[in-house]
Amino acid sequence: MSDVMRRVRNANPVPDSSHLLLDREEFTDLVVERRDKMVLGRSAATGALHPGSRWQIALVAFALVLVTGGGVWLAGSMASGDLVGADAASASEAQLALASAAHFFDALNSGDLETAQAIMAPAISRDPKIARALQFFSGLPGTKSLSSCSTTARVLWTDVACDITLSGPLFVATGQDTARGVLRVDDEGLITSSPVIGRRLEADRAFVEYAKAIEPVAFQRSCDPEAYVPGSVEISKLAESLAWTGECAQLWAELSDDAAAWVYAGKPTLDRGETIEPDPGSS
Amino acid sequence: MEADSNLFEALFQEHAAKVQAYCLRRAPVEDARDAAAEVFAVAWSKRRQLPEDEKILPWLYGIAARVLANQRRASRRKSAFLRRFLGVSERSLSGPEEQVLFNAETQEVLDALQRLGPSDREIVMLIAWEELTRDQAAVVLGCSPEAAKKRYQRATRRLERALGIDHGERTASSRYEPEVAGNE
């Protein structure tokens, strides 16, 4: 076999189809839904043939294989009560993916970077910048919460689409505190991609504008991408105007209330050292 | 009718997992599940036209390819609707990040496969993943064995380029012969 075909063979997303079937007896112990969608199940009902049950066995077997690798996440972390599973037929995959997403955001909110990075290990191993992005994102003020989640099972992963809400003052002030995004969770419960990391929100732009004017030295030291070598881990094409550092997140936290007040005030022209008093009538 | 049922039962037992795997390799789980079920529904309706034994699995794959193609067309219609009426694409709905995935090597190969044309990609996958011979792949693709051979050679050449594989002094005759794909 040629090298290229060997590589293609190794990339086979379903390398072994034998696990797609179980014994009929084993099947009877399992709960199976979506019976009405089983074309063969309907044929079986006519008495002409009876492969429908085996078909359902195959589906359940596949779900079990996926869950086996990631049961650890199912054990304890459906903490976010408003997460909603999408598809009963792939409930196990959905639960795993939702639990992983909830666990990840819990870790970010509690400042447990080690756990957050462990859950995103596949992405970080591919791109070390993501570790920095997590550090930055975790350091932003306010909570980051998921709601209205739905899941879509893919061959190689599960997409978890959620409303991601950021409660920090600047996100609220800019009117863009919630975004619909998709986290991609693999069959081990690890997040391979997250939409929030590096997303350019209005709050980013407002912070840059405000911090550059009010705290130019601190901004340049902690947040200015130009202070870093192009290609370094602090710089991302997704955050052109902001370096992802823990120090920058700290500056954001310090300026957050004032910057929000400045936004509420209609972003008046700023002079160095100026602060904006919140408009009493604008809360 | 009883004979038909028994024959079909045997056919299902022997090939259902492989057909499902074929679909899972090419479509999201839910679509693959429905497609694989549809394959056997179609096969049942054509049970009087079953090919000879060694061609049954390629024949089922051929049905699966058409079923999945229909699914994709339906999906494209949905995308066109989203673009036209909502001003969004399914891609934009699924989030801004492409910071994929589990295994860089696997992803690189899958990306390279995606860059091939559909027929090139299909013959590579049939031989590498379904472990068909080129002749069997020809049955799936509805072309002659000679055409399948040429298509396979072209596809692997393009795939090598996409993956940046440089063969240097390797000979053309040894380059494209898969051990699972010899003509029988």
- Enter the ipTM: 0.73
Cα separations in angstroms, A7 against A4, A11, A90, A122, B109: 5, 6, 30, 20, 7
At A207 the pLDDT is 92
Residue A39 reports pLDDT greater than 90: no
Q: A123 to chain B: which residues are within 8 Å by CB?
A: 99-101
The continuous run of DSSP H or E covering B42 comes out as: helix B29-45
Q: B170 to chain A: which residues are within 8 Å by CB?
A: none
Of A17, A93, A195, the CB nearest to B97: A195
The continuous run of DSSP H or E covering A181 comes out as: strand A178-186
At B125 the pLDDT is 93
Q: Which residue has the higher pLDDT, A242 or A82?
A: A242
Residue A30 reports pLDDT greater than 60: no
Contact A49, B44 (CB under 8 A): yes
Closest residue of A to B114, CA-based? A8
Residue A66 reports pLDDT greater than 50: no
pLDDT digits (tens, 9 = 90+) for A174-217: 988 888 888 888 777 788 876 655 455 788 889 999 999 999 99
Contact A146, A234 (CB under 8 A): no
Overall size of chain B counted in residues: 184
d(CA A131, CA A123): 9
Q: What angle do CA B130, B131, B135 make, to 5 degrees?
A: 105
Q: Which residue has the higher pLDDT, A114 or A44?
A: A114
Cα separations in angstroms, B68 against A58, B80, B180: 19, 18, 25
At A161 the pLDDT is 87
Across chain A, what does the average pLDDT equal? Answer: 68
pLDDT digits (tens, 9 = 90+) for B136-150: 999 888 888 998 999
Q: Which residues of chain B have pLDDT under 50?
A: 81-82, 85-102, 169-184
3-state secondary structure at position A197: coil
Largest Cα–Cα distance in chain B?
60
Cα separations in angstroms, A53 against A14, A28, A90, A209: 22, 9, 17, 62
Cα separations in angstroms, B99 against A55, A58, A118, A126, A164: 35, 31, 16, 8, 18
Instruction: Suggest the residue from A1, A3, A14, A64 to mutate for an interface test with chain B (most B CBs closer than 10 A).
Output: A14
At A229 the pLDDT is 67
Judged by a CB distance cut-off of 8 A, whether residue A150 touches chain B is no
Interface of A with B in 27-56 (CB under 8 A): 37-40, 43, 48-51, 54-55
d(CA A73, CA B55): 44
d(CA B164, CA A124): 25
Q: A204 to chain B: which residues are within 8 Å by CB?
A: none
Band of residue A265 on the pLDDT scale cut at 50, 70, 90: very high
pLDDT digits (tens, 9 = 90+) for A208-217: 999 999 999 9
At B129 the pLDDT is 92
